[in-house]
Structure 1
């Protein structure tokens, strides 16, 4: 395939895909809008802290590519998982390092379904993974798993406002295995700064170390609040300023497609 280059239009498209993971979550039947030219391979659920099954994303494909999308936090149990920042050994890859327990537990609850869906794709089809916030963390965990344990060994990753996922060893393993990862990060968004580089759980003497994986794409926008600096529609709007005609055409073509 050759070396992948960052593409703002691809980022805009994938940010809109991320928006549909939240639409899926809010719909009891897991319904959401598909972009023109894509068909649904399948959807999947997972479980956060309280073990209740929730919609966590979907896999779709066109003639040219496939997209695996993960949802960010949308429930109280998701938020509890976000704060379970002690670390565990990354289960899918031996000796790959330590990862955030809350995110890892959720990812592992989706893993069998995701691997089953991905196995339906042709081996030579480019696979993009994407997610916003916690969804970006889940996409990062999934990417290394797929790179090592599936026939689609060169995933292309775009995340938005994602937190840190693992320790230095995990990051080194990830950066060596994943060629293309673009991590969009608003400098005024607090979530990408979590967990802290050095994390000590409450009422514990243990210390955990966190790093970001490679590929930071620095963005800069202030929206007047912590949530405003983080929410997906504002990442989309920021990117749309670079490609206004493309963004307008995409949003007009399929009403409800763009995150607003």
Structure 2
């Protein structure tokens, strides 16, 4: 996988497939498929909005790289309507940076396990952090935290259909800390437009400001529904058209490895 300063299409396709496996992990009681040459370092869980402990992703390692992947939610609308969009202090970066409380609580619940898993991966290996939807928000928080608080020689972040995560101060800090970061979003996907730039809590009337982190990679596809414009299989199919031979090669493995429609 490339870790250059411009988005690498093959890396994006490969990581979209990895994101697909985070849903497989959730749907199959923790079981999912590993990409060729990769081994599982370990999985991590967190309490969901429903209150129950669920698998939320995993750390993989090959001889050349490591991957930290986060799962989103199966329904693109459930967490959008129920989310706690008030902001809270993002403690790993200090007292002046504010992030979405719902995303932050979820990330902090899994943080110690994630860091323990990363402890077994050599810092000299490139670490790719990825996630789709809510998983993209968690990947954004993790990337800022890892960049600030861990020794990682090379950190590369790719998210898909991710919502906004924090206030302008958080975004400035993220953009300075995380050297290589690509936020891939479909212009017809509703999730990247949430929370709104200006959010007023209906309970407290307090106003919060949200911005997106760097580097937007705009895609454009319509699949006839809110879900169809958002799910990881739609992102994968859209990106795959730009590198069909590579996609065919990585999808030639076990059935279900690629998130095909």
Same fold (TM over 0.5): yes
The 1:33/1:3 distance shift into structure 2, 3 A limit, reads closer
For structure 2, the residue ranges without an aligned partner over 5 or more in a row are: none
Q: Are residue 11 (structure 1) and residue 12 (structure 2) matched?
A: yes
Equivalent position of 1:187 in the other structure: 187
SS at match of 1:192: helix
**Distance of aligned partners of 1:125 and 1:44 in 2 relative to their CA distance in 1, 3 Å threshold:** same
Partners of 2:33 and 2:137 lie apart in 1 by: 23
1:82 deviation in Å? 5.7
Structure 2 equivalent of residue 213 of structure 1: 213
Shift of 1:148: 1.1
**Aligned ranges for residues 108-257 of structure 1 at < 5 Å?**
108-152=108-152, 154-257=154-257
Q: TM-score, normalised by structure 2?
A: 0.94
Q: Which residue of 1 aligns with 2:44?
A: 44
Cα root mean square deviation, aligned? 1.8
- Residue by residue, what CA displacement relative to the aligned partner does 1:139-165 show, whole Å, maximum 9, x if unpaired? 000001111111116421000000000
Whether the 8 Å CA contact 1:46–1:53 is kept in 2: the answer is: yes
Contact 2:183–2:215, Cα closer than 8 Å, also in 1: yes
Question: Within the alignment, does 1:23 sit opposite 2:59 as a pair?
Answer: no
Q: TM-score by structure 1 length?
A: 0.95
User: In structure 2, how many angstroms separate the alpha carbons of the residues matched to 1:202 and 1:214?
Assistant: 29
Question: Distance between the aligned counterparts of 2:3 and 2:137, measured in 1?
Answer: 26
Post-superposition offset of 1:75: 7.4
C-alpha displacement of 1:52: 1.5
CA displacement 1:211-257 (0-9 Å, x = unmatched): 00001000000111111111110100000110011111211223210
The gaps in structure 1 that reach 5 residues or longer are: none
Q: 1:109 aligns to what SS in structure 2?
A: helix
Give distance in 2, aligned partners of 1:96 and 1:8: 35
For 1:82 and 1:45, the matched residues in 2 are separated by 20
C-alpha contact 1:35 1:254 (8 A) present in aligned 2: no
CA distance in 2, matches of 1:207, 1:10: 38
SS at match of 1:253: coil
Deviations along 1:161-190, whole A, 9 cap, x unmatched?
000000000000000101110000100000
Per-residue deviation, residues 73-101 of structure 1 (Å, max 9, x unmatched) = 1379x727961000000011113510000
CA distance change for structure 1 residues 75 and 223 in 2, over 3 Å: closer, same or farther?
closer
